[in-house]
Structure formats: structure tokens, C-alpha cells
Amino acid sequence: MAKVLCVLYDDPVDGYPPPYALDAVPTIDRYPGGQTTPTPERVDFQPGELLGSVSGELGLRRFLEGGGHTFVVTSDKEGPDSTFDGELADAEIVISQPFWPAYLTAERIAKAPKLKLAITAGIGSDHVDLEAAIERGITVAEVTYSNSISVSEHVVMMILSLVRNYIPSYGWVVKGGWNIADCVSRSYDLEGMQVGTVASGRIGSAVLRRLKPFDVGLHYTDRHRLPEEVERELGVTFHPDAESMVPVCDVVTINAPLHPETEHMFNDALIARMKRGAYIVNTARGKICDRDAIVRALESGQLAGYAGDVWYPQPAPPEHPWRSMPHHGMTPHISGSSLSAQARYAAGTREILECWFDDRPIREEYLIVDRGHLAGAGAHAYSVSREGEASEAPASDHA
């Protein structure tokens, strides 16, 4: 029997469960492109429930304990005295979410001799040292596509919020004001602007499709070019790299995985190539942007706005400069953890576990690392290098 260690974010401050706004969420059977949604043998939750916090337990406790497994759930993941570190030594399976990642560094993997499987409940496994996992023969899997559309909707929301100056305008209402001039002094129409995405995978292409009706110019860069018929359908222009794309864009959205080639891509030099007054939306990974370069560009006016829900580290400390920089629209890492998405990534996590315990193959599209190599979605999205690992581990986790 296995010990399963699960790291989830804290429960709501006002108690769990909250009163839900909706009685149910729509049932989605297939994603764009035809991939089916998770197909576990059963689930022990009602879709639309809060599953990603500690008390939600991803709906897994009855299933795991019914199979004789030990199931430990915690939100305490930072430092050598954390519950996560204390329980890791004899854990066979670790489950984590990108929104509250349990950083599986090489050092932590070395202290977990029984570890065989690392599951991301969601998308994005860069909190796992993939090279260390490869060397140890650990399988890494994630629930591909489970929250891609959720994130793409969040991207469009943030683009409109920045360009139309929504957040400050809402603030005037809350404060009792009617300050129209203040509200519109930084408000523009998105129509006619040029919008580009760094990466055009599931999220990036979904963003492009959702923006097309806004009558904007669409651009993208990706190491995997879209089929010619898709480019024609969307009316999108391909650029060989970010350096050639960003000078023509009023808005840039980042939808790439974090790996050595993308870490700190948006630094002072690349931001200087952008139009003065451009906007950046980053729902990918915080370390794709140079933290202080973003602050400097907002303060100087080189950027008109920056929004996103990804930080480094996560959770971000209270003194993180992105909390207080001007003209931002930051949120905690929530874009892929809507209640709708939670139903899918919780079901996908159970599907992976069912396959693991039954010694059946895990879906190819869920695999990141398998049998000592990048595999499945991982082979498409990631690269590994000891000189620039695909990891967002905070400094404290390198001790």
C-alpha cells in the first residue's frame, strides 16, 4: 500500500464549504481538438464543489483509504520543518497544484527514496526538478487541458481590464466617487490594437480564438508553428521569436511553459523593444518575466500595464514589489482553479491514480516524465538543463 502526500491551498478564511453561487457547473465531455475530459471509474464529489483546498482533498480520501493507502493532506510546504518535508521521506506519491506548488527540488527528491510518482493536479510541472526526476526514474504526470480554457478566459478578462482601466474605475465606485475623468484618462478601446501571444499551444491558441471577434490584429511566436489553415482561419501572423514580435504589439500575453529557454525572457532588453505604453499579461509562470524589470517599466511608462496571476515564489511574500507597483492587475494564482476546472483536474488526478494502482498505462497526453525521459506532453513543452532548470523553487527550498 502507498503513502500519498497531497499539498493543497488553505481553506476559505470564512470557513469551508462556502455557499456556492451556482447549483451546478456545465458538463464538458471533450476539449477543443477532440481530447476527452478525465474518465475515472467514478468520483466521490459533486462537480462545482471546492476541491482544491485542504478540506476538499481533491475528493480522494474515500478512494485512497478504501484501497488501504495512507493519505496525508497539508498546506504547510515551506522549509525543512514543514509538514511536507516531514512526510516526504516515506511518500510514494506526491500530488501538488501549480497554484500552491510543493517544490520538488533535487534536494527534496534525494531525501525521498520511495518517491515514484509526482502528479500535478492541473497543468504545469515546472515545480518538479524534471532532470532529477528523470535521473531517479520518477514518473511525472499532469492533467493536461483540464484548465486550459479556464486560463484563456482569464487572459481575455485581464487584457480588457488593463486596456479599459477597469480596476481603478471600480475602485472609485467603492470609494463613493464618480470620477469619470480619472477613470477614462487611461482607458482605450481594444479594437484595432495588435495582440500577440508568446506560445500558441492549448492556452495560447484558445486566447487567439477568443480575441478574434474583437477585431484586433493577431500575432504569435512558438517553436511549433501552427498549421497553415489555422493561421488563415484566425488571421494570425507568425513571428520566429519574441524579439521580432513584441515591437509590433500593443498587448503581449505570455502562455509558454517555464524552462531554460523562457526563464527571464521578458527582461529590460526585450521590454525596451516593445511599444511605449504596451501591456503584458502573464498567466504562465512568474519567472518568465524579470521581476524588477517589470516594475521599472511600469514606473517609467514603457509599459502601460501588467497583469497576471503567477508569481515567484508562490505564494508571494507580502513585500513582493508586484503587489504595489503602478498600473497592475495582479491576482493570486487562480486562473486555472475555477470551480469548473477543479472538477476536471480532480477527476484527472483520480484517473492517473487508478491507472497507477492498477498497473495500467497513464494517458500519453498526461505524461511529462516517464521511464527516465521526457514523454507525452512533457516532450512537447519542456526542456531540461542543469544550468537553467525548469523550476520555480524559492531560495529557501534550495537550502
285 flagged as catalytic: yes
Cell reading at 332 = 493570486
Residue 332 lies in a domain: no
- Whether 399 has a pLDDT exceeding 80, the answer reads no
Residues in the chain, overall count: 399
The single residue of 127, 154, 219, 333 carrying the catalytic annotation is 333
Q: 259 and 153, same structural domain?
A: yes
Residue 329 in any domain: the answer is no
Predicted confidence band at 398 (pLDDT cuts at 50, 70, 90)? very low
pLDDT at 90 over 90: yes
Flag whether pLDDT at 387 surpasses 70: no
Average pLDDT on 257-284 reads 96
pLDDT for res 53 = 97
pLDDT at 379 over 80: yes
The whole model's pTM is what?
0.92
Instruction: Tell whether 296 and 209 lie within a shared domain.
Output: yes
Give the active site residue among 314, 328, 350, 363: 314
Q: Are residues 172 and 297 in the same domain?
A: yes
358 shares a domain with 224: no
CB distance 5 to 60 below 8 Å: no
> Is pLDDT of 154 > 70?
yes
Same domain, 315 and 202: yes
The pLDDT value recorded for residue 291 is 98
Task: Identify the helix (H) or strand (E) that includes residue 297.
Answer: helix 291-300
The tally of domains found in the chain comes to: 2
| Sheet strand arrangement including 217-221 | 236-239, 217-221, 194-198, 251-254, 278-282, 303-308
Q: Is 147 a catalytic residue?
A: yes
Same domain assignment for residues 110 and 26: yes
Instruction: Look up 255 and say whether it is catalytic.
Output: no
pLDDT value at residue 215: 98
Set 147, 194, 255, 342: catalytic member: 147
178 versus 18: the higher-pLDDT residue is 178
Q: What is the pLDDT averaged over residues 278-306? A: 98
Torsion of CA 316, 50, 35, 311, to 10 degrees: 0
Out of 11-25, 211-225, 283-297, which region has the weakest mean confidence (pLDDT)?
Answer: 11-25
The bridge status of strand 93-96 relative to strand 139-142 is unpaired
Residues of the chain with pLDDT > 70, as a percent, come to 96
44: DSSP letter: S
pLDDT tens, residue by residue, 109-139: 999 999 999 999 999 998 999 999 999 999 9
Angstrom distance (rounded) from CA 353 to CA 221:
35
As a whole number of angstroms, the distance between CA 294 and CA 317 comes to 17
- In a domain? residue 330: no
Q: What is the CATH number of the domain that holds 120?
A: 3.40.50.720
- Residues 210 and 260 grouped into a single domain: yes
Q: Which of 183, 163, 101 is nearest to 307 (CA)?
A: 163
Residue 55 above 90 pLDDT? Answer: yes
pLDDT reported for residue 273: 98
Q: Is 77 part of any domain?
A: yes
Q: Is residue 168 part of a domain?
A: yes
pLDDT digits (tens, 9 = 90+) for 332-361: 999 999 999 999 999 999 999 999 999 999
Average the pLDDT over 14-20 and give the result: 85
Is 277 domain-assigned? yes
Active-site annotation holder among 108, 154, 285, 350: 285
Give CA–CA dist 44/153, Å, rounded: 28
Q: Which residues of 286-312 are buried (b: 16+ CB within 10 A; e: fewer)?
A: bbbbbbebbbbbbeeebbbbbbbbbbb
List Cβ neighbours of 213 (8 Å cut-off, separation of 6 or more). none
User: Any catalytic annotation for residue 314?
Assistant: yes
| pLDDT of residue 208 exceeding 50 | yes
pLDDT confidence bin for 385, thresholds 50/70/90: low
Task: Please provide residue 291's backbone torsions phi and psi, each rounded to the nearest 5 degrees.
Answer: -50, -55
Instruction: Based on the fold, state whether residues 198 and 232 are members of the same structural domain.
Output: yes
Q: Does 138 fall in a domain?
A: yes
Average pLDDT of the residues in 302-323: 96
138/238 same-domain check:
no
Backbone angles phi, psi at 332, to 5 degrees: -60, 170
Q: Report yes or no on 331 lying in a domain.
A: no
Looking at the fold, whether 62 and 141 belong to one and the same domain comes out as yes
128: left (phi over 0), alpha (psi -120 to 50) or beta: beta
- Helices 148-163, 166-174: axis angle to 10 degrees equals 70
Question: What's the chain's average pLDDT?
Answer: 94
CA distances in angstroms from 17 to 11, 12, 62, listed in the order given? 8, 8, 18
- Domain span at residue 239 reads 148-323
On whether both 291 and 181 belong to a single domain, the answer is: yes
Is the pLDDT assigned to residue 98 strictly greater than 70? yes
- The whole-angstrom separation of Cα 291 and Cα 275 is 19
Cα→Cα distances 52→6, 27, 91, 147, 197, Å: 10, 19, 20, 13, 28
Identify whether residues 200 and 270 lie together within a single domain: yes
